[in-house]
Amino acid sequence: MSSGMEEMASQIDDLQKKAESDAQSAGSLEALQAVQAAFIGRGGALNEILRGIGKMPAEQRGQVGQMANQAKKTLEERFALRRKELEAAAGQAEQSKVAQYDPTIPARREAVGSLHPVTIVQRQIEEVFSRLGFIVVTGPEMESEYYNFEALNIPPMHPARDMQDTFWLGNGKLLRTHTSPVQVRAMEKYGAPLRVIAPGRCFRYETIDASHENTFFQLEGLLIDRNISIANLIAVMKLLLTEVFQREVEVRLRPGFFPFVEPGFELDMRCEICGGAGCPTCKHSGWVEVLPCGMVHPNVLKYGGIDTDVYTGFAFGLGLTRLAMMKYGVRDIRVLNSGDLRGIIAAEKLTGPTIVNGSRP
């Protein structure tokens, strides 16, 4: 062998040994891949050596080429072997991970969303009244003074305005203090005979405590037809409360003053929270006002363009928020407008989840 050949042979030999030891110490498939590329890849060390072949005498080239090819073959086999070893080791690691999984651990309970208690009660009442032939309408939350007061028989300067602390807006309008303005709006739009309910958000400039909020929900009801009397009013109110509470509820009727009804009543219900013994929610009286109502005042019918010689009607203003509190035992009204979910959870406990996988059951 010429000295050039010898040198070449030892270079190839060294390279092969180095490659073998590097492959052995490669701890992962990625590392092995890198070793392979470094030695027998396109730009690898072996090709680098082979580039020197050109400078050798022609008769020696074949032999060197053969040595190089042999080394490459050997290395390929070595790499393949090492790859198998590494793959087996990775498989074992995966297996031991599976072994750590304990199928007896109870599954984590998925958080299931729920409708707001007020929404639940609202929908329930809408359903009851739809069966009785009422339509569900809405009115603006930013209301005119005319619909909120005047058309309800509460003229400017009338002391009844003091009963409702109002948010007045810079544009001359106000945030409606009740859903009653929808009464005259509905009369104007649909005429008589008429059966509507109007649920919605109301606002009062209130000092907030356990039973007062600046934002709350009411549900207005209005029925106008021929020969409507207080007997019809009482029958419908009892049906409503029986449906909401799913049992016979104890009620009492007291005279109540509202300028838009004559006669007007306060319909009270036995407090659901204390059962009548007295608690902060019922102001220790055992009764909670749930349903102010009455026969629609002729002036209001006239504002709505209804012929008072032919038609009479009754109206009621249900405190939707208060009713939801009663139904679900929510003691503090502030919970309902806050991010505190305990009130919502209280409702869910009684009714079950109302949204499952994003849709109502």
317 is a contact residue toward ligand DAH (CB under 6 A) = yes
Comparison of 8 and 186: residue with beta carbon closer to ligand DAH: 186
| CB-closest chain residue to ligand DAH | 317
Edge-to-edge order in the sheet of strand 142-143: 142-143, 174-175, 167-168
316 is a contact residue toward ligand DAH (CB under 6 A) = yes
139 is a contact residue toward ligand DAH (CB under 6 A) = no
Distance between first and last Cα of the chain: 89
What minimum distance in Å lies between the beta carbon of 117 and ligand DAH? 20
134 is a contact residue toward ligand DAH (CB under 6 A) = no
What minimum distance in Å lies between the beta carbon of 265 and ligand DAH? 8
Could you give the CA distance from residue 312 to residue 32 in angstroms, rounded to a whole number? Answer: 93
Q: Helices 29-40 & 58-100, crossing angle to 10 degrees?
A: 170
347 is a contact residue toward ligand DAH (CB under 6 A) = no
Cβ–Cβ < 8 Å for 149, 183: no
Kindly report the number of other CB atoms within 10 A of residue 322's CB atom.
Answer: 23
- Give the β-pairing of 287-296 and 142-143: unpaired
Q: Which stretch binds ligand DAH (CB under 6 A): 121-129, 309-317, 321-329, 342-350?
A: 309-317
213 is a contact residue toward ligand DAH (CB under 6 A) = no
Residues in contact with ligand DAH, shown as a per-residue x/- string from 251 to 290 under the rule CB under 6 A: -------x--x--x--------------------------
Question: Residue 96 in 3-state DSSP?
Answer: helix
Please pick, from the candidates 259, 292, 313, 343, the single residue that binds ligand DAH as defined by CB under 6 A.
292
What minimum distance in Å lies between the beta carbon of 323 and ligand DAH? 13
In terms of residues, how long is the chain?
361
Could you give the CA distance from residue 108 to residue 88 in angstroms, rounded to a whole number? Answer: 34
Could you give the CA distance from residue 85 to residue 231 in angstroms, rounded to a whole number? Answer: 91
Q: Which residues bind ligand DAH (CB under 6 A)?
A: 178, 180, 220, 258, 261, 264, 292-294, 315-317
